[in-house]
């Protein structure tokens, strides 16, 4: 299945007129159709994290691409071919994606600082940064897969130690390698949404943000037969509007407490040292599928943390532990 992009209603002015002329009202209506969250089960996991009611998507109009005065000289709307209209739309989209793909990973300090600021401003979307700080549990998370060379090796290592992890998958990768997605799920690991194209979401219009999340969700649902309910923005980069779109589509956003920087391949020893120095109860460790050094260090990392008394669990398990702690605190307060 190839994902068909749909976009929310927006006044595109001349561009929409050109598309309507070239493609006909039916296809233009499809392109302008609203995004729905019908594919997401919003009830099965809505009680896992306490937050505000899921908002309705309220997406801003899609910005128009800037053109020079004579860019379309000699092309009248009624002579624009279907191919030309589609290329015009693709050029607008690709300009945003080229910019967004120049992604800068944020440090743990930046991620936690933004979350603190959001809470101080009263923004309490369904976002999790850590689990229960009173339990020696850790969640290993792997971003950017699946990869045919690396994912089977990660699964083999996790299976050897009989532990469960959480995989945040890129939609276009999941579409290429659906058997690897099914293998991850069959082994009992959590499967999460990591957008379709792996772009920095704050750098693209919000209309495209919802597209990216929903596109990946559609692929995962098609492959697994059930919707994903966990979402991680690439690079940990998000804005209130990104969080609102994620929540409206039925997701809990998952960030992290520990980032050893394995994506930069700093060396096995560096990855291990950074992880051991920062790991703490309820922590979420960010790692990446597709990195040789991640594969090489993973057994030592698991053994070292287990020797410190840590249990490895899925993100869903961390959420459940956090709920248990909240209920315990509420009972004590009474």
Q: Is 137 exposed, middle or buried (0-12, 13-18, 19+ CB in 10 A)?
A: buried
- How large is the average pLDDT for residues 91-118? 59
Domains of the chain: 108-333 (3.20.20.370)
User: pTM (2 decimals)?
Assistant: 0.67
- Quick one: DSSP state of residue 125? -
Distance in angstroms (rounded) separating the CA atoms of residues 258 and 274:
8
Residue 330: predicted pLDDT: 38
Measured in whole angstroms, the distance separating CA 226 from the mean position of its chain's CA atoms is 17
- How large is the average pLDDT for residues 58-64? 36
> For residue 42, what are its two tokens?
């919003």
SS3 state at 191:
strand
- How large is the average pLDDT for residues 316-332? 62
pLDDT digits (tens, 9 = 90+) for 123-171: 555 889 999 999 999 999 999 999 999 999 999 999 999 999 999 999 9
Sign of CA dihedral 72, 73, 77, 81: negative
Band (84; pLDDT cuts 50, 70, 90):
low
Nearest 5°: phi and psi at 258? -135, 125
Instruction: Note the helical H segments in the chain.
Output: 14-23, 25-31, 82-100, 108-120, 151-160, 171-176, 178-186, 206-224, 240-248, 268-278, 292-307, 315-333
> Contact, 19 vs 85, CB < 8 A?
yes
Residue 9: predicted pLDDT: 36
Q: Is 237 exposed, middle or buried (0-12, 13-18, 19+ CB in 10 A)?
A: buried
Question: Of 148, 229, 130, whose CA–CA distance to 184 is shortest?
Answer: 148
Q: What is the chain's Cα-based Rg?
A: 22
Of 112 and 282, the one with more pLDDT: 282
> Contact, 329 vs 188, CB < 8 A?
no
Candidate from 101-105, 110-114, 219-223, 256-260 with smallest mean pLDDT = 101-105
Q: Are strands 230-231 and 127-128 parallel, antiparallel or unpaired?
A: unpaired
Distance in angstroms (rounded) separating the CA atoms of residues 126 and 54:
9
> Contact, 110 vs 257, CB < 8 A?
no
Residue 241: predicted pLDDT: 87
> Contact, 124 vs 297, CB < 8 A?
no
Can you name the residues that pair with 193 across neighbouring β-strands? 169, 231
Q: Are strands 137-145 and 311-313 parallel, antiparallel or unpaired?
A: parallel
Distance in angstroms (rounded) separating the CA atoms of residues 152 and 182:
12
| CA distances to 165, 176, 231, 316, 317 from 139, in Å | 6, 26, 15, 9, 9
What is the enclosing helix (H) or strand (E) of 140?
A: strand 137-145
Q: What is the percent of the chain with per-residue pLDDT over 90, rounded to a whole number?
A: 48
pLDDT digits (tens, 9 = 90+) for 186-203: 999 999 999 998 988 988
SS3 state at 150:
coil
Which residues are catalytically annotated? Answer: 143, 288
């Amino acid at each position: 299945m190839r994902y068909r992009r749909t976009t929310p209603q927006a006044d595109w002015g001349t561009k929409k007129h050109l598309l309507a002329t070239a493609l006909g009202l039916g296809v233009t209506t499809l392109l302008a159709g609203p995004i729905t969250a019908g594919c997401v089960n919003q009830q099965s996991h809505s009680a896992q994290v306490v937050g505000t009611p899921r908002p309705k998507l309220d997406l801003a109009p899609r910005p128009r691409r800037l053109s020079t005065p004579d860019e379309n000289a000699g092309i009248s709307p009624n002579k624009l071919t279907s191919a030309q209209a589609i290329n015009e739309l693709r050029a607008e989209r690709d300009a945003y994606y080229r910019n967004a793909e120049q992604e800068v990973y944020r440090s743990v300090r930046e991620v936690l600082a933004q979350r603190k600021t959001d809470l101080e401003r009263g923004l309490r979307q369904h976002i999790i940064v850590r689990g229960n700080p009173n339990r020696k549990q850790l969640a290993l998370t792997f971003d950017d897969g699946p990869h045919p060379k690396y994912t089977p090796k990660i699964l083999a290592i996790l299976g050897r130690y009989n532990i469960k992890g959480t995989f945040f998958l890129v939609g276009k990768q999941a579409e290429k390698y659906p058997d690897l997605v099914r293998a991850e799920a069959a082994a009992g690991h959590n499967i999460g949404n990591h957008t379709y194209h792996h772009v920095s979401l704050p750098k693209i219009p919000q209309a495209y943000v919802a597209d990216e999340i929903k596109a990946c969700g559609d692929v995962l649902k098609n492959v697994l037969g059930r919707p994903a309910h966990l979402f991680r923005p690439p690079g940990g980069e998000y804005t209130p509007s990104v969080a609102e779109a994620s929540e409206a589509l039925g997701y809990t956003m998952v960030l992290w407490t520990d980032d050893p920087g394995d994506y930069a391949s700093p060396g096995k020893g560096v990855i291990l040292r950074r992880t051991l120095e920062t790991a703490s109860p309820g922590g979420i460790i960010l790692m990446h599928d597709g990195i040789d050094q991640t594969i090489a260090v993973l057994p030592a990392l698991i053994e070292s943390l287990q020797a410190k008394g840590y249990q490895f669990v899925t993100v869903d398990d961390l959420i459940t532990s956090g709920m248990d702690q909240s209920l315990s605190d509420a009972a004590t307060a009474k």
